[in-house]
């Protein structure tokens, strides 16, 4: 294990460098141009959480709250609800810290945005400055009002 003095993005960058240097296979839910297939697979697997939750509930909830992070889980929730429930899908609220609001800023810009500056948050695993490139456009399109 390597402890990184930094935020989530710094840890992902360090892990990628260690994997490259050591010839390891990299498995990350954070993607960037040239590394998008694995994050897409991970995002697709996140939909299993929704399938499992649907099996345990008799009715569709009115609201689903989901953390934004780099966008993969949030986009999986939105995608699953859209494809399985269509217009009967619940209202989905995505939550992210105020400072490193990379999903919100990407949605506002209509493209992937890297948030610079302070990424300080008590939500350590969600201190993300860059939305998942594979999910960025999906988030923007899926969350647009119909």
How does pLDDT run across 25-40, given as a tens digit for each residue? 888 777 777 887 888 8
**Would you tell me how many other CB atoms lie within 10 Å of the CB of residue 142?**
17
Q: Is it the case that residue 20 has pLDDT exceeding 80?
A: yes
Output the six-digit token pair for 101.
Answer: 């609001």
How does pLDDT run across 56-103, given as a tens digit for each residue? 988 899 999 988 877 888 888 988 998 899 888 899 888 877 777 777
Instruction: Enumerate the domain spans of the chain.
Output: 27-56+67-142
Return the percentage of the chain with pLDDT > 90, whole number: 10
Distance CA 47, CA 43 (A): 7
Q: What does the CA dihedral 100, 104, 110, 114 come to, rounded to 10 degrees?
A: 10
21: left (phi over 0), alpha (psi -120 to 50) or beta: alpha
């Amino acid at each position: 294990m390597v402890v990184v003095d930094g935020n989530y993005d710094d840890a992902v960058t360090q892990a990628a460098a260690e994997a490259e240097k050591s010839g390891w296979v990299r498995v990350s839910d954070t993607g960037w141009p040239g590394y998008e297939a694995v994050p897409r697979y991970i995002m697709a697997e996140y939909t299993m959480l929704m399938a499992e939750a649907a099996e345990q509930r008799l009715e569709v909830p009115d609201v689903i709250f989901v953390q934004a992070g780099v966008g993969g889980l949030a986009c999986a929730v939105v995608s699953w609800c859209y494809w399985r429930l269509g217009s009967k899908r619940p209202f989905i609220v995505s939550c992210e810290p105020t400072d490193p609001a990379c999903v919100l800023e990407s949605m506002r810009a209509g493209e992937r945005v890297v948030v610079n500056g302070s990424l300080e948050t008590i939500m350590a695993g969600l201190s993300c400055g860059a939305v998942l490139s594979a999910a960025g456009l999906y988030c923007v399109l899926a969350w647009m009002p119909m």
